[in-house]
Amino acid sequence: MEWMLPVLVLAIIWYWLQKKRPAPSEPKPSPDVRALLAAELERRSEAVRREGRYGEAQVIALKATWLGVYPKLGDDDPPETLDPNEGRHLRFVSTIWGRYHEARAANEDRDDVDTWLPYPKDAVRKALQLLLDVGEGTVRSAHVSPGEATPEVLEELRAALVELRDERNGGRG
């Protein structure tokens, strides 16, 4: 019986300590390093653009966009050659098309294309050409069914490519 009192006291102390300890919580997911770097590069691109260094800002924005599609670790630079069978490449070029389309709509009355283009002109051309080729079916993709692109989208892509190729007026036709 003498041992009951110390055991009871120890049990009460243990119970009290357990009540004071916070309940285990779900671990907070750590942000993906690439997403953090992409966001920082976007901020840097905007700062450089405000300083009037448009070419540098476009290159930084291109890298930020590439990191935003979560490439394989160690594959931090945008690809030189775009592969229509790589899902990451298609997401990348789709993002380029979307941002180009937005910038073009916001700056349709401006001829100084090099100042408002979100990415380097050559990178935009390559992306739009790949989208057009896949949309027209001249290039096969494991991720896009033939005929998936509407005729209106294909015509917009063609018009954008003509505009980018026209070097008069800074690239605007």
Residue 152 lies in a domain: yes
In a domain, 27, yes or no: no
- Write out the residue range of the structural domain in which residue 77 sits: 35-171
- If one counts the domains in the chain, the total is 1
73 assigned to some structural domain: yes
Measured from the Cβ of residue 111, the count of other Cβ atoms closer than 10 Å reads 14
Is the Cβ–Cβ distance between 69 and 86 less than 8 Å? no
Tell me the pTM.
0.75
Split at pLDDT 50, 70, 90, the class of 171 is: very low
30 in a structural domain: no
Could you read off the pLDDT of 26-75 as tens digits, one per residue? 767 666 778 888 899 999 999 999 999 999 999 999 999 998 887 676 77
pLDDT value, residue 14: 74
| Residue 134, in any domain of the structure | yes
